[in-house]
């Protein structure tokens, strides 16, 4: 039986909106994360997708207690983190590391690689003396595919892909159990993205790591995830195993996201329907009543959708969960969309090529380290 490493229950992160000459008047709250519950099994990858601004990065930070949650619980390997005293939380942090989107801004330009990797070891009291720490660091550089001469170099002397490897090394050298990777490849070229994703997978297998991977790119998340959660306006709207979600997206928002992913075959791409959502993402400071997606949902119904907030519920007998009142009727075609447009976006051809290249590159092991 698989063990659960992380269990998040009804997690909320609300940021106060302050006004007044001294910003001392709270006039509302931005509900960045608003009642998310999920579980991540040991040694598995949970992929979190959604538009920028949907709260996925805030959720990742709140899970690690880098941002203090407003409500809810985060249980990590049997320990409740939200009420843990600072000292214990600090020692727990070694087991929970983060990889950032932009390695250049997350690495101190004045520190060389040895100093970057030594810092964490010293902070957590790992490795007795300098020789022992150097041994650990040398092993980690090998594991992430960086040469030993990298030790004395500075971040600006490396390419984007190599810098991300340094960021991964900084996390892995501490021997963590969980890594939260926030858009780990979105700042990289497509061919380099594939190398970094393959590296994360190799490290997971070798070290038994558990991942929460946050990304807006569905191709990345599909490739790497055992379970995928789709977030919209601070809440999970659908969750399923990677294959199930991509083969049978049930929530209208997931369907819209999927329909925007280009298909490598240009003939299929030309023929398929694309669901275009009306309007922008509503403000999380003032989310719509009822189903938060009802202002943009092509399947929205006059009854229930605007009044009653749907919770996540299991559809069928498996683990596929959807927050939509009408998921079954939408799937069977009993409820038809008001407006589905088969338009192809102007830069479709370029996107197809990019998607095809990443998919192909992900299947190609090895290759030069760039």
**Closest to ligand SF4 by CB, 167 or 298:** 298
**Closest to ligand SF4 by CB, 228 or 300:** 300
**Closest to ligand SF4 by CB, 71 or 288:** 288
Q: What sign does the CA torsion over 161, 352, 246, 56 have?
A: positive
In the chain, alpha helices (H): 56-63, 86-93, 103-106, 113-123, 130-144, 160-172, 190-207, 218-224, 242-247, 252-259, 266-271, 327-332, 348-362
**Cα–Cα dist 18/60, whole Å:** 24
Sole binder of ligand SF4 in the list 74, 97, 310, 358 (CB under 6 A): 310
Number of amino acids touching ligand SF4 (CB under 6 A)? 14
**CB atoms near residue 114 (< 10 Å):** 18
Sole binder of ligand SF4 in the list 60, 184, 252, 287 (CB under 6 A): 252
On whether the CB atoms of residues 210 and 39 are closer than 8 A, the answer is no
Residue 300 within binding range of ligand SF4, rule CB under 6 A: yes
Phi (first) and psi of residue 91, to 5 degrees: -75, -25
Query: What per-residue string of b and e applies to 118-127 under the rule 16 or more CB within 10 Å gives b?
Result: bebbeebebb
Residue 299 within binding range of ligand SF4, rule CB under 6 A: yes
Residue 103 within binding range of ligand SF4, rule CB under 6 A: no
Residue 321 within binding range of ligand SF4, rule CB under 6 A: no
On whether the CB atoms of residues 191 and 130 are closer than 8 A, the answer is no
Sole binder of ligand SF4 in the list 150, 194, 233, 305 (CB under 6 A): 305
Sole binder of ligand SF4 in the list 30, 64, 228, 324 (CB under 6 A): 324
Residues whose CB is less than 8 angstroms from the CB of residue 275 and which lie 6 or more positions away in sequence, other chains included: 252, 255, 256, 259, 260, 298, 337, 340, 341
Sole binder of ligand SF4 in the list 144, 176, 293, 355 (CB under 6 A): 293
Residue 291 within binding range of ligand SF4, rule CB under 6 A: yes
Residue 326 within binding range of ligand SF4, rule CB under 6 A: yes
Residue 255 within binding range of ligand SF4, rule CB under 6 A: no
Q: Which stretch binds ligand SF4 (CB under 6 A): 10-18, 300-308, 339-347, 357-365?
A: 300-308
Residue 170 within binding range of ligand SF4, rule CB under 6 A: no
**Cα–Cα dist 175/185, whole Å:** 22
Site of tokens 């890594």: 179
Q: Which stretch binds ligand SF4 (CB under 6 A): 136-144, 264-272, 288-296, 358-366?
A: 288-296
Residue 61 within binding range of ligand SF4, rule CB under 6 A: no
**CB atoms near residue 140 (< 10 Å):** 20
**Cα–Cα dist 159/73, whole Å:** 39
Sole binder of ligand SF4 in the list 44, 133, 294, 355 (CB under 6 A): 294
Provide the minimum distance between the beta carbon of 328 and ligand SF4 in the complex, in angstroms, as a whole number: 11
Sole binder of ligand SF4 in the list 144, 245, 297, 354 (CB under 6 A): 297
Where does this chain bind ligand SF4 (CB under 6 A)?
251-252, 291, 293-294, 297, 299-301, 305, 310, 324-326
């Amino acid at each position: 039986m698989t063990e659960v490493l992380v269990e998040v229950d009804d997690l909320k992160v609300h940021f106060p909106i302050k006004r007044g000459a001294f910003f001392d008047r709270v006039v509302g709250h931005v509900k960045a994360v608003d009642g998310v519950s999920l579980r991540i099994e040991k040694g598995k990858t949970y992929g979190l997708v959604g538009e920028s601004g949907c709260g996925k990065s805030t959720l990742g930070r709140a899970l690690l207690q880098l941002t203090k949650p407003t409500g809810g619980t985060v249980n990590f390997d049997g320990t409740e983190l939200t009420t843990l005293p600072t000292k214990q939380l600090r020692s727990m942090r070694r087991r929970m590391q983060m990889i950032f989107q932009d390695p250049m801004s997350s690495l101190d330009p004045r520190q060389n690689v040895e100093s970057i990797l030594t810092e964490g070891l010293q902070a957590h009291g790992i490795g007795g003396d300098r020789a022992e720490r150097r041994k650990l660091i040398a092993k980690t550089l090998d594991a992430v595919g960086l040469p030993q001469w990298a030790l004395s170099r500075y971040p600006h002397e490396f390419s984007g892909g190599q810098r991300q490897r340094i960021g991964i090394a900084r996390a892995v050298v501490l021997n963590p159990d969980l890594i939260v990777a926030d858009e780990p490849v979105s700042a990289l070229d497509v061919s380099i993205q594939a190398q970094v994703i393959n590296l994360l997978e190799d490290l997971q297998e070798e070290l038994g790591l558990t991942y929460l991977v946050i990304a807006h790119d569905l191709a990345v998340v599909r490739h790497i995830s055992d379970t995928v959660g789709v977030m919209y306006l601070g809440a999970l709207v659908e969750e399923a195993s990677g294959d199930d979600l991509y083969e049978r997206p049930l929530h209208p928002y997931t369907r819209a996201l999927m329909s925007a992913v280009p298909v490598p075959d240009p003939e299929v791409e030309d023929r398929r329907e694309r669901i275009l959502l009306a309007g922008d993402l509503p403000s999380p400071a003032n989310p719509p009543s009822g189903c938060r997606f009802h202002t943009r949902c092509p399947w929205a119904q006059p009854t229930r959708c605007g009044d009653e907030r749907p919770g996540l519920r299991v559809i069928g007998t498996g683990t596929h969960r959807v927050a939509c009142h009408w998921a079954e009727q939408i799937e069977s075609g009993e409820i038809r969309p008001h407006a589905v447009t088969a338009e192809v976006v102007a830069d479709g051809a370029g996107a197809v090529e990019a998607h095809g290249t990443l998919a192909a590159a992900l299947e190609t092991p090895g290759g030069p380290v760039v």
